[in-house]
Amino acid sequence: MARNKYGRRRVLVTGGAGFLGSHLIDRLLDRGDEVLCVDNLFTGDKSNIDHLVGHTRFEFMRHDVCFPLYVEVDEIFNLACPASPVHYQHDPVQTTKTSVLGAINMLGLAKRLRVPIFQASTSEVYGDPEIHPQTEDYWGNVNPIGIRSCYDEGKRCAETLFFDYLRQHDLDIKVARIFNTYGPRMHASDGRVVSNFIVQALQGHDITIFGDGSQTRSFCYVDDLVEGFIRFMEAGPDVHGPINIGNPHEFTIRELAEKVIEMTGSTSKLIQLPLPADDPTQRQPNIGEARKHLDNWEPKVQLEEGLRRTIAYFADKV
């Protein structure tokens, strides 16, 4: 791995003021890297990186990845994109631009510098899957014109660009498909199920379940996910992915809601609302490729422990 004149890696993290990006930056700084955090703060929040202000190896730049970026770095983690339905449906055109133009600009930078680049893709590329659990060779079942398409198809197109840069320019790419992730620094109103349930329970409000709550998700604690990112980037130039990174333990939405009520001691009641359009009924990763290529990576934080830490975070916020 290339290093700068001080013997340290200089790492670019786009979307670095977001939930995942800020945790990744903490980990990179802990291992001794210099980090350039780039974020336009559309959904990112400076409070996620306030604790890094004044850190000698941390730099923040407000910038939109839809426009070219001219910097000198040794690695790129491209995490820039709204990742919750509330946020990416707020401005769907901008969401698609961020996924596609952002990928083009960051790939162009990586090509110029000849450095490895990591793409934070998503399990949403599988759409409402017809196979279960999802393996990386599954092409997906995605509605190209629905209300979630700006995100789903934007990420699918970004993957296409990454693999075309691999084939056409021999670029060292890493494409990770991220499954549901939770933990401290989630946005309280981003519409994701874990943060929704915890905030509603702590405030004593009814907990809203879409449909009958039988749809399933697999929840990975953020520390485990970041460990997967680090191992993927360190896996060498022959490991490109795509690789699923998530927790293979599957829970129904109703089970999650009941667990949150129990752990918060809330008196909240469950109420059912109609399912949103194109909402997947099942989501569970097969992580065989991650175990094989990422030094036997697999999640270690169990759901109850992860929820305990996340509830403690939100208890100070609401």
Query: Is there a contact between 194 and 256 (Cβ–Cβ < 8 Å)?
Result: yes
Burial degree of 265 (CB within 10 A; 0-12, 13-18, 19+): exposed
Alpha carbons 282 and 131: distance in angstroms, whole number: 9
- Of 178, 170, 311, nearest to 232 (Cα)? 178
Alpha carbons 155 and 153: distance in angstroms, whole number: 5
Alpha carbons 219 and 216: distance in angstroms, whole number: 10
Query: Active site residue: 151, 165, 182, 221, which one?
Result: 151
Does 126 participate in catalysis according to the annotation? no
DSSP string, 55-98: -TTEEEEE--TTS------SEEEE--S--SHHHHHHSHHHHHHH
Query: Is there a contact between 259 and 307 (Cβ–Cβ < 8 Å)?
Result: yes
- Of 184, 178, 181, 131, nearest to 155 (Cα)? 178
Residues carrying an active site annotation: 151
